[in-house]
Amino acid sequence: MNKRITVLLLSIMLLISCAACFTGCNKKEKSPGNAIPEDNDGPAKFTVTALSVSDKIKISYMLELEPGAEGGKVVVTAKPQKGKTVKATLSPYGSAEIDCPDKAGVMTVTLAYTDKNGNELTKAELKAKDGLIQLTPDGILPVVAAMTDEEKAHLITGVSEPLKPGASGGTYAIERLGIPSITVNDGPAGMRYGTTVWYPSVMNLTSSWDTELIAKVGKAIGEDSLAQGIDIILAPGMNIQKNVLGGRNFEYCSEDPLLTAFAATAYVKGVQSTGEGACLKHFAGNEQETWRGSASSAVTERALREIYLKQFQMTVAAASPISIMSSYNQVNGTYTSINKDLLTGILRDEWHFRGLVMSDWGSAGAVEDKVNAQNDLKMPGDADDAEHIIAGLAEGRVDAATLDICCAHILYTIAKSPTFRGIKMNTGVDFDAHNRIAEEAAADTFVLLKNDNSTLPLKKGTTVAIFGNGSYQTVYGGDGSGSVSPNETVNIMNGIRNSADITLIEDAYNIFERCAAHSKTNSKFDIAVSAEYAKGCADNSDTAVIVISRKACEGEDNSPTEGDFLLNERESDMIRNVSEAFHAKGKKVTVLINTGSPIEVCSWRDLVDAILFIGYPGQEAGNAVASVLSGKVAPGGKTVMTWPKVYSDTPAYDHFPGNSSKAVYYEDIYVGYRYYNTFGVEVAYPFGYGLSYTQFEYSDFSITENADGSFTAAVTVTNTGNTSGREIAQIYVSKPETTLEQPALELCGFAKTGLLQPGKSETLTIEITPDALTSYDTRGSRYIIDRGVYTFSAASSAGSIHAEQTVEVKELRVVYDVENRCAPAKEPEHIKK
Ligand code: BGC
């Protein structure tokens, strides 16, 4: 598209600016936004800017042609419902005005461009009803031109009534112009509205490092969403898991932007393959819940670009999400929903995002300022929003051209929606098939953290004593907008009960089930396990499984104290008493960690034999746990966040969560493993870590530089153990510090093997795109690949490197130039090497 030239321009200036958002014919900076696929990427494209139908049909349009396509003709055809069809052949340089045979009823107006050889290269289709333009995908700008100020003011304010019960919101319908209302709903782990399927959390899905699996779940969620009559699902969450106490870590993918981008891209593609829309959230810098509605994330421009925006940037380019939600917080002193630098400068001008931006529910900032920043839709709308907009227009506080752009973005999204396109909706969720997808996916997301002397898998027929309130009150997912009303739930006890391979010992579970059944609360409930009780259980069973659970919730961060990041006294006693009793009989103990974020493990992990992190696995938790404990499925996940030894080892522990006005992003670019590896801080479990029931060896690691500046890594993984399994191989890069200081290593690619049988090998080929290698040079406002020696490593985690290769880049490459945007007035205090 960028090679095209506009050969005909019949438009008023206002509409040109509006059209520019859609056609990309505005001045493009050199940026990855150029990679976004256009709706019509052929050699020619119409953008219709106005249509009026009375005794004449007048149409204004731009025609963009790629070089070589010039010299053809434009044919305008108007087909009335009754009356006769009229046709006019125009030179592309002529004006389109033809007689109107009869404007009553529905009329279709078609513009077609035919090249000099008679091939039809492009076509635009518009609709009018009784002389009034109606919404079609090609007729967005003429519809905006036909809207009154009142209609525009209503369109940019979301509605909450009338909507489907439980749905999060929707858009305003304007019947006279054929604009329906569309409905949006949460959230990342399945539909919040109605009875549906609770899938593994986004954190779990990402722990699988399996983009096919994530896309499969995304597709199932898209189908559920359609089946509930919803147009856009408010997911995936993709803020960075910057701190282990982050209250919504379970809704987010990872501490790493590249892994986040790959997971989110797979999720969005899966959802959108059904015709449903996805909504990336929360854009941007919303890495904590405490004071999320007021605090300003004080972050250096480099960290903002490299860590907190990069995953959004890559996902916009790779997955073309239909919408993005701005966040509650401020970034460097401005609320994101009124932040022109962020929403217009970066998102639209640099990345060429053409979809809908909606604000998070009830976020701060005046509706007029939201419009002026191109936060298109205010969610939910307030009764007086429309009046504010109209008054703002009259008083010059609302920019009329920007209001039109916002309306155009909303209409573009509506025109793509399932409701508008007549995709089959409201069919009811396919529980049978989707519950099985949820179960299979959950088992693939578990991370085996410890497995001494092959404690797991449990042999067929093993009898299991189970402990911990989470065994009965299993936490399927987090609370808040990310929660789901599942059609069924299988807790861990029942999952083991359902298993044909392992058997639950009733004595042990009974106290938990009995007490839990009487407890009204879910999170704070907890039962003591005495030494004596544990001994009785050890006599009657072959092995012990202890569940440690935490329920995280939107709106709150976790706490570094007992009962949250730390075990509480009863939990510590339970682990000690059970371990002593079972070990005294030569029996083993496994701990299942059922939390939305890492917890402290170093003080107790030596007491037990195996630890499995099950995160928030969704409604089929118990069945999935039983499959993995019994070895029916090998655990195939790896950590997406570093597990620190103690909370005070985390890089910005004394700056989190800051205060009501400021959250200093003290760790700067050194988030997660970038910090621990660079500053030599030992961790409990590194990023990218996870065991299998078998072992793997890495060999034949190579890196090849491609002509386009990308690299291709290849590495062979061999299963050297006795059972089958899948391995996630990671490629890290250590960049030269010729211009900028750099973290010790950064993830630049990864791949997961298929199920490898013992003795079998697979050679993985991993593309490393320039995006994965760029650094942001604040002084030059540019993304660069610096000059110097790059060391690439093949690794099984950020803490375990198997092979290295170096490549020298001789010249500094400027990958794209941008502008200094969202920069702090004064650099916040931050870590330096
Ligand atoms: C959350 C969003 C959610 C919205 C609508 C907000 O409180 O931050 O993630 O999509 O509510 O429910």
Strands 610-613 and 447-451, sheet pairing: antiparallel
Answer whether 815's CB lies under 8 Å from 777's CB. Answer: no
In this predicted structure, what is the pLDDT of residue 37?
Answer: 33
Contact yes or no for 641/804 (Cβ under 8 A): no
Distance 281 CA to ligand 1 centre (A): 9
Rounded to whole angstroms, the Cα distance separating 569 from 409 reads 54
Residue ranges in the chain whose pLDDT is less than 50: 1-3, 7-38, 520-524
Q: Which of 184, 201, 225, 234 to mutate to test the pocket of ligand 1 (most atoms within 8 A of CB)?
A: 234
* pLDDT at residue number 525: 54
| Structure-token pair, residue 393 | 């227009």
pLDDT confidence of residue 20? 33
- Nearest atom in ligand 1 to 327's CA: 8
How much is the pLDDT for 136? 97
| Phi, psi for residue 279 in degrees, rounded to 5 | -140, 110
The residue nearest atom 8 of ligand 1, judged by CA position, is 360
What is the b/e burial string over 533-565, where b = at least 16 CB atoms within 10 angstroms of the residue's CB? bbbebbeebbbbbbbbbbbbbbeebbebeeebb
Residues in a beta bridge with 8:
63
| Residue 361 CA, ligand 1 centroid: distance in Å | 6
Handedness of CA 800, 805, 810, 816 (dihedral sign): negative
Backbone phi, then psi, for 108, in 5-degree steps?
Answer: -105, 125
**pTM score:** 0.95
> What is the whole-number distance in angstroms between the Cα of residue 264 and the centre of ligand 1?
17
Nearest CA to ligand 1 atom 11: 361
Q: Which of 231, 360, 444, 557 is catalytic?
A: 360
Q: Is the CB of 168 under 6 A from ligand 1?
A: yes
Kindly give the pairing relationship between strand 106-114 and strand 73-80.
antiparallel
Q: By C-alpha distance, which of 272, 162, 167, 281 is closest to 230?
A: 167
pLDDT score, position 328: 98
- Are the C-beta atoms of 276 and 234 separated by less than 8 Å? no
* Residue 493: closest CA among 520, 521, 465: 465
Please report the pLDDT score of residue 32 as a whole number.
30
So what's the pLDDT on residue 568?
Answer: 94
Q: Determine if ligand 1 sits within 6 Å of the CB of residue 361.
A: yes
d(CA 73, CA 52): 22
Atom of ligand 1 nearest to the CA of 169: 5
Cβ atoms of 151 and 178 within 8 Å: the answer is no
- Protein residue with least CA distance to atom 6, ligand 1: 361
Using the mean position of ligand 1's atoms as its centre, give its distance from the Cα of residue 481 in Å: 5
| 668 touches 243 (CB < 8 A) | no
Residue 226 C-alpha to ligand 1 middle, in angstroms?
20
Instruction: Decide: 186 in ligand 1 pocket, CB within 6 A.
Output: yes
Tell me, yes or no, if 360 is annotated catalytic: yes
Which residue, 771, 752, 794, is CA-closest to 710?
A: 771
Which atom number of ligand 1 is nearest to the Cα of residue 282?
9
Q: Which atom of ligand 1 is nearest to the CA of 292?
A: 8
Q: How far is the CA of 483 from the centre of ligand 1 (A)?
A: 11
Pocket probe mutation, ligand 1, options 160, 186, 324, max atoms within 8 Å of Cβ: 186
Q: Which of 798, 561, 569 is nearest to 684 (CA)?
A: 798
CA of 246 to the centre of ligand 1 (A): 16
Task: Measure the CA angle with vertex 354, ends 351 and 355; round to 5°.
Answer: 120
CB 73 within 8 A of CB 8: no
818 CA from centroid of ligand 1 (Å) = 31
Q: Cα of 156 to ligand 1 centre, how many Å? A: 18
The 10 Å Cβ neighbour count of residue 72 is 21
Atom of ligand 1 nearest to the CA of 279: 10
**Which value, to the nearest 10 degrees, does the dihedral of the CA atoms of residues 504, 505, 511, 513 take?**
20
- Confidence at residue 27, expressed as pLDDT on a 0 to 100 scale: 30
Q: In what order do the strands lie in the sheet with 356-358?
A: 169-170, 183-185, 232-233, 277-283, 323-326, 356-358
| Ligand 1 contact via 360 beta carbon (within 6 Å) | yes
Find the 186 Cα to ligand 1 centroid distance in Å.
7
Predicted local confidence at residue 547, as pLDDT = 96
Strand order across the beta sheet in which 782-785 lies: 775-777, 782-785, 813-817
Question: Measured between alpha carbons, how far is 318 from 257 in angstroms, rounded to an integer?
Answer: 14
pLDDT of residue 84: 82
Measured by CA distance, the residue closest to atom 3 of ligand 1 is: 481
Question: Of 358, 408, 364, 403, nearest to 378 (Cα)?
Answer: 358
What's the distance, CA 433 to chain centroid? 24
Residue 409 near ligand 1, beta carbon < 6 Å: no
What pLDDT, on a 0 to 100 scale, did the predictor assign at position 723? 96
List strand residue ranges (DSSP E) for 238-360, in order.
Answer: 277-283, 296-298, 323-326, 330-331, 334-335, 356-358
Q: Is 615 in the pocket of ligand 1 (CB under 6 A)?
A: no
**Beta pairing, strands 277-283 & 643-644:** unpaired
**Residue 281, ligand 1, Cβ within 6 A:** yes
Q: So what's the pLDDT on residue 283?
A: 98
Q: Which atom of ligand 1 is nearest to the CA of 237?
A: 9
Q: Which of 164, 168, 233 to mutate to test the pocket of ligand 1 (most atoms within 8 A of CB)?
A: 168
> Contacts by 92-95 with C-beta closer than 8 Å and gap 24+?
92/7, 92/8, 92/63, 92/65, 93/7, 93/8, 95/10
Q: Which atom of ligand 1 is nearest to the CA of 186?
A: 10
- Atom 9 (ligand 1): residue with closest C-alpha? 481
pLDDT of residue 57: 93
Q: Is the CB of 187 under 6 A from ligand 1?
A: yes
Whether 667 lines ligand 1, by a CB cut-off of 6 Å, is: no
pLDDT on residue 93? 61
